[in-house]
């Protein structure tokens, strides 16, 4: 597929954005709002970022099948669309809370935030979020960030964070990436990685972070660990 340049924006258009433009008429390199369209005098109505990313995820498999390589970020976005994340499958946060009944089966949802990071949440405990992006110092690694939006004493102790970490590790393995914690962490993070080590994931601890290399992670049977 050719790599054209959009006349309305000097940034080169890659094969994925070109396919979105051809199939849906959505121009790349636009200043987009998160969930609402906006009007531009130069180009008319501009689709929101949520819709644009959903379109990219939709066309990505066919673009890749034609021999056009996808970036890791695009691959993760495609995985999000396949898992039901993004515009067509993820429920608003409040609706997740309403569905989070005592007998609900834990299911992990994957979306993206405004910064483009993958965000994992669980339907039974949506106030715990794990976001992940390529590590800024080494793009062969995923860098996670766990955020708790409510009182940990109330929502903790249910295994949600552990399941989110395991799903994040599964995504990293699928894309031949390693995993490296943030260099700033406390007791809770220390306990989390020790728990993962006890489950059979050989994280190496340095003075600054926990990590597992792409090669090491590729050898781990995460499916067996998750099913325990």
60: CB partners within 8 A, 6+ apart: 16, 70, 74, 75, 77, 78, 81
37 and 137 together in one domain: no
120 and 26 together in one domain: no
65 and 96 together in one domain: no
157 and 214 together in one domain: yes
149 and 203 together in one domain: yes
104 and 64 together in one domain: no
State the pLDDT at residue 158: 83
56 and 106 together in one domain: no
Q: Which domain holds residue 172?
A: 91-227
Classify residue 196: in a domain, yes or no: yes
Domain-ending residue, one of 70, 99, 133: 70
56 and 100 together in one domain: no
In whole angstroms, give the CA distance from residue 74 to residue 80: 10
* Number of domains into which the chain is organized: 2
pLDDT per residue, tens digit, the chain (228 aa), is 444 433 333 344 578 888 888 888 888 888 888 888 887 777 788 888 888 888 888 888 787 777 776 666 666 665 555 454 443 344 344 433 433 444 567 788 888 777 778 888 988 888 889 988 888 888 899 989 888 887 777 667 888 999 999 999 999 999 899 999 987 667 888 899 999 999 999 999 988 889 999 999 999 999 889 887
């Amino acid at each position: 597929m050719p790599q054209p340049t959009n006349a309305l924006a000097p940034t080169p258009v890659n094969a994925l954005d070109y396919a979105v433009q051809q199939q849906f008429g959505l121009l790349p390199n636009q200043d987009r709002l998160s969930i609402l369209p906006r009007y531009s005098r130069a180009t008319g109505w501009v689709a929101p970022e949520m819709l644009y990313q959903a379109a990219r995820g939709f066309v990505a498999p066919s673009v890749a099948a034609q021999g056009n390589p996808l970036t890791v970020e695009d691959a993760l976005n495609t995985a999000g669309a396949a898992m039901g994340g993004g515009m067509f499958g993820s429920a608003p946060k409040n609706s997740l809370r309403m569905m989070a009944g005592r007998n609900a089966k834990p299911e992990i949802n994957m979306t993206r935030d405004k910064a483009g990071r993958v965000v994992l949440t669980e339907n039974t405990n949506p106030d715990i979020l794990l976001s992940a992006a390529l590590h800024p110092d080494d793009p062969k690694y995923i860098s996670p960030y766990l955020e708790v939006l409510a009182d940990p004493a109330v929502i903790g102790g249910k295994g949600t964070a552990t399941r989110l970490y395991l799903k994040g590790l599964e995504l990293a393995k699928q894309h031949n990436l390693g995993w490296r914690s943030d260099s700033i962490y406390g007791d809770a993070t220390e306990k989390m990685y020790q728990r993962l080590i006890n489950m059979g994931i050989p994280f190496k601890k340095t003075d600054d972070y926990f990590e597992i290399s792409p090669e090491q992670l590729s050898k781990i049977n995460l499916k067996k660990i998750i099913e325990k």
